[in-house]
Amino acid sequence: MRLLVLDTTHGGGTLATALAEEGHIVDCVDIYYGRDGIPSEAARTRLYNACIAPVHLDPAYPLLHRGLPVITHHQAAGLLLGGDLPTPFIEITGERGKTTTAYALAHLMGGAGILHTSSGDIRYPEKTLLGRYSITPANIIRPVQEARRLHGWCIAESSLGVSGRGDLGILTSPGDYRIAAGKRSALEAKLCHLSTCSQILLPEGICVDHPDAHTVGDIASSRGTTISYSFDGIEGSFDHPLLLLEGYRHPLLMATAAGCLLGIDPAPLQSFEALPGRMQTRYENGCLIVDAANSGTTKDTTIEAARYARKIESGKDLHLIIGQDAHAVCENFAEDAIIAAIEAVAPDDLTLVTPDEPSDLLSRYPACRRAASLEAAIATTEKRADTIILLAVKTWR
């Protein structure tokens, strides 16, 4: 077949290479920068059997209107996975909690397997980091191939949907926002891709027409620091202090319910530890450092992290390091959200991570420190026993 792949920035090049290896004739168009592949003008003059486009592309984009069948990057990745899939193959998407849910579920899995998240690809049980890749849909091909080689399981996190080939597809949160030049719902795109998974697990408030759909609340519930669960003969409870944090309560509930659906007693989650960048705590020179810097950092996670930090070390000054690393994430930490977080936290000291200067933030807080990156901010901040340092920078970790 002769295929047209749009958007090389978000995995189109990976898809094109894989399709060419299967014998297809493939052209790519770099819809954002025009650097890779062929010009869009040349693509308009050629004949194709199908077009492969990302779900976030503006539906008015001219090359989508040539009368060709159009499939998404997610669906193309699913086709490229072939027929011999890892067992089990779990796919995870959602606005929040994807990475934490994935790690928590991997904590329950036995034997060999591959965990693919925004933090990297990790081979279990030894937890060897194989590399760091984005969670664009094309990047599930590599971890699935590695899991197949190991004859093991695969847990894969993806943005804006899944391949739809999973034994279990998980939507971690019900949040929605606009994509594709504001013309499409991100939630609808995710649910559409999840619909072809064999079984799906959904957060509260989401209902779909699927023969084997489950809502997390039908399987697991939490009260205080305790999670209770019951499904198909698997029942029990466990305690965990991280359940006091909203950022962990929902992912741990999702992982608990997912474990039950997979026939695994989730009780071992009581030993699950906080992840780097997701409320992980440590001490340096007697200074408490609360790390809430990751690709999902928001105003709400920052406020929650500040409450958590002050609960651990009440009465100490709080130094807030907040902002965004350059070109680190697809969804920005907007300046108005950063300002709202600063006002809500009311830190005693402030460092703004702003890769570009000048910045409206710097003029609003002229007395603050400035750093060009999270690493630079950490390296230049004094760690004192009478201070709490809170890291709330949106960045890939």
Q: What token pair was written down for 316?
A: 């100490």
**Nearest residue to 89 (alpha-carbon basis) of 157, 11, 189, 12:** 157
Instruction: Check residue 274 and report its DSSP letter.
Output: P
Please, which pLDDT band fits residue 331 given cuts at 50, 70 and 90?
low
Q: What token pair was written down for 204?
A: 């509260």
Domain match, 299 and 227 both: no
Q: How far apart are the first and last CA of the chain?
A: 39
Domain match, 157 and 185 both: yes
pLDDT at 386: 94
In sign, the C-alpha dihedral spanning 320, 321, 327, 328 is negative
Domain match, 308 and 202 both: no
Domain match, 92 and 143 both: yes
Q: Which of 271, 302, 330 is the last residue of a domain?
A: 271
How many domains, the chain? 3
CATH of the domain at 41: 3.40.50
β 287-291/280-284 pair status: antiparallel
What whole-number distance in Å separates Cα of residue 75 and Cα of residue 40? 23
Q: Tokens 């796919």 appear where? A: 91
pLDDT at 112 over 80: yes
pLDDT digits (tens, 9 = 90+) for 152-183: 999 999 999 999 999 999 999 999 999 999 99
pLDDT at 330: 54
Quickly list DSSP for 277-320.
TBBEEEEETTEEEEE--STT--HHHHHHHHHHHHHHSTTSEEEE
Q: Which of 73, 95, 116 is the last residue of a domain?
A: 73
Q: Which of 246, 271, 296 is the last residue of a domain?
A: 271
pLDDT at 327 over 60: no
Domain match, 266 and 288 both: no
* Structural domain span for residue 313: 280-394
Domain match, 267 and 297 both: no
The mean pLDDT value for 205-217 works out to 96
pLDDT at 326: 65
Domain match, 130 and 248 both: yes
Q: Per the confidence metrics, is the pTM higher than 0.85?
A: no
Half-sphere exposure of 321 (CA within 13 A, CB side): 31
Q: Which residues make beta-bridge pairs with 62?
A: none
pLDDT at 245 over 90: no
Instruction: Check residue 159 and report its DSSP letter.
Output: S
pLDDT at 246: 84
CATH of the domain at 215: 3.40.1190.10
pLDDT at 328 over 70: no
pLDDT at 358: 62
| Average pLDDT across the chain, whole number | 94
CATH of the domain at 314: 3.90.190.20
What whole-number distance in Å separates Cα of residue 81 and Cα of residue 140? 9
pLDDT at 359 over 90: no
What whole-number distance in Å separates Cα of residue 36 and Cα of residue 45? 18
What whole-number distance in Å separates Cα of residue 276 and Cα of residue 394? 13
What whole-number distance in Å separates Cα of residue 88 and Cα of residue 2? 33
Domain match, 96 and 237 both: yes
Q: What token pair was written down for 394?
A: 């949106």
Domain match, 172 and 307 both: no
Chain centroid to Cα 79, Å, comes to 22
